[in-house]
């Protein structure tokens, strides 16, 4: 690894432009992720993982997003997919996590079919937005179950039965198509699967826990909402810290009156206050829900609803703060090569995730 700096924060920040040019995380950034076990954050100690818990993971992901949005988003989505470790067949899990560079990628969408066969399931489908696809070793995919004749299987309510599957790297075809203006280095490409038969133990259902470990019963919806929201928070905090230097160094600054400068400083202070306030409320609600789970083994609906509400508020306020300050940064904020512009692009790309739209 290049010894460019003394800390992983500085290394990742220095390599962010190179990661963006590559369209995937720089090899030195990946090496840090492997060493720190960021792609295995939730993986239980029983499988050789660090077995970290969600309260610590959220703070780490916020800190990562402050340094580089693409790194944070990739770690968040890949480690989040590896959370499924708690629901995998035990033999399969031990095989998968024997690889020190194991990395999960996948999609939450139902993009394929799984037809029952004598030896397992025949998988076909297309899934979009698999962050980390270019270095992933394992892919997760949601499929509609079908019988041997290819007819959809239905539950007691007449709804399609959906099941999740584990696929190995050599069983999928990456479809290059991540051409968006932000989170460029996540390499969130699509993948196809064509007539691949997998054994029965490659299927799993969330909330059918196969390993005893604290925290796996935290609801997946709120886990997803909170982890995405802290990414927006970290990026917004970075933008707010960068925008002051940009404002005072912009070419037209000498034309501003003292009153105009005061207006900017007041806006900046208000944005700092907004972010710190919504952040405090968010973590307070999340921490309360986590404590309730550990003590009572269940979280009341009203507490979960509050976590969801504040996750959305955090994501929306992060974007609004950045948009309020953007005009003060001058053309440097619109120059693609600047960190300010990269942070702006990353945050606005993250804001398009459907889970936190409303």
Which part of the chain has CATH 1.10.540.10?
8-87
User: 273-312: per-residue pLDDT in tens?
Assistant: 999 999 999 999 999 999 999 999 999 999 999 999 999 9
Cα 303 to its chain centre, rounded Å, is 23
DSSP-assigned beta bridge partners for residue 105: 139
Q: Does pLDDT of 1 surpass 70? A: no
CATH class, 8-87 region: mainly alpha
Distance CA 144, CA 160 (A): 6
Distance CA 118, CA 115 (A): 10
The pLDDT assigned to 22 comes to 97
Q: Tell me, letter by letter, the H, E, C secondary structure of 135-183.
A: HCCEEEEEEEEECCCCCECECCCCCECEEEEEEEHHHCEEECCCCCCCC
Q: Does pLDDT of 194 surpass 80? A: yes
The stretches of the chain forming alpha helices (DSSP H) are 8-22, 27-36, 54-67, 69-82, 90-96, 220-249, 258-296, 301-325, 339-350
Using alpha carbons, select from 168, 197, 41 the residue that is nearest to residue 95. 168
CATH class, 104-204 region: mainly beta
Count of C-beta atoms within a 10 Å radius of residue 72: 29
Using alpha carbons, select from 82, 204, 88 the residue that is nearest to residue 142. 204
Using alpha carbons, select from 345, 328, 327 the residue that is nearest to residue 336. 345
Mean pLDDT of all residues in 16-22 = 97
Classify the phi-psi angles of 97: left when phi > 0, otherwise alpha if psi is within -120 to 50, otherwise beta: alpha
Give the model's confidence band at 32: pLDDT under 50 very low, under 70 low, under 90 confident, else very high: very high
Give the model's confidence band at 6: pLDDT under 50 very low, under 70 low, under 90 confident, else very high: low
**What is the dihedral angle through the alpha carbons of 291, 294, 295, 296, rounded to the nearest 10 degrees?**
110
Task: Using a cut of 0.85, tell me whether the model's pTM lies above it.
Answer: yes
* Cα separation of the two ends of the chain: 42
What is the residue-averaged pLDDT of the chain? 94
Give the model's confidence band at 5: pLDDT under 50 very low, under 70 low, under 90 confident, else very high: very low
Mean pLDDT of all residues in 251-271 = 92
Using alpha carbons, select from 280, 286, 302 the residue that is nearest to residue 233. 280
- 123 and 114 Cβ atoms separated by less than 8 Å: yes
Q: And the tokens for 236?
A: 């917004």
Which part of the chain has CATH 2.40.110.10?
104-204
The pLDDT assigned to 3 comes to 39
Phi then psi dihedrals of residue 116, to 5 deg: -65, 135
Which part of the chain has CATH 1.20.140.10?
220-356
What is the CATH number that goes with domain 220-356?
1.20.140.10
Q: Does pLDDT of 88 surpass 90? A: yes
């Amino acid at each position: 690894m290049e010894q460019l700096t003394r800390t992983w924060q500085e290394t990742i920040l220095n390599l962010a432009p190179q990661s963006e040019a590559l369209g995937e995380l720089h090899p030195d950034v990946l090496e840090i992720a492997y060493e720190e076990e960021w792609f295995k954050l939730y993986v239980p100690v029983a499988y050789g993982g660090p077995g970290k818990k969600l309260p610590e993971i959220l703070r780490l992901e916020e800190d990562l997003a402050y340094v580089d949005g693409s790194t944070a988003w990739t770690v968040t989505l890949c480690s989040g997919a590896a959370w499924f470790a708690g629901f995998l067949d035990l033999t399969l899990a031990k095989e998968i996590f024997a690889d020190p560079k194991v990395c999960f990628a996948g999609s939450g969408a139902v993009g394929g079919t799984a037809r029952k066969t004598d030896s397992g399931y025949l998988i076909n489908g297309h899934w979009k937005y698999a962050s980390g696809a270019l270095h992933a070793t394992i892919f997760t995919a949601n499929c509609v179950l079908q019988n041997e004749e290819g007819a959809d299987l239905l539950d007691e309510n007449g709804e399609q039965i959906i099941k999740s599957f584990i696929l190995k790297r050599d069983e999928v075809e990456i479809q290059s198509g991540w051409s968006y203006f932000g989170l460029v280095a996540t390499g969130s490409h699509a993948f196809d699967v064509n007539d691949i038969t997998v054994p029965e133990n490659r299927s799993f259902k969330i909330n059918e826990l196969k390993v005893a470990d604290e925290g796996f019963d935290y609801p997946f919806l709120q886990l997803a909402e909170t982890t995405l929201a802290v990414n927006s928070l970290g990026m917004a905090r970075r933008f707010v810290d960068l925008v002051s230097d940009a404002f005072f160094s912009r070419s037209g600054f000498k034309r501003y009156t003292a009153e105009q400068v005061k207006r900017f400083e007041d806006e900046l202070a208000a944005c700092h206050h907004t972010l710190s306030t919504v952040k405090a409320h968010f973590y307070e609600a999340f921490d309360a829900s986590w404590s309730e789970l550990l003590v009572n083994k269940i979280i009341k609906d009203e507490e979960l609803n509050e976590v969801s509400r504040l996750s959305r508020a955090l994501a929306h306020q992060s974007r609004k703060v950045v948009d309020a300050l953007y005009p003060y940064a001058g053309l440097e904020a619109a120059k693609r090569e600047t960190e300010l512009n990269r942070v702006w692009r990353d945050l606005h790309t993250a804001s398009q995730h459907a889970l936190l739209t409303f």
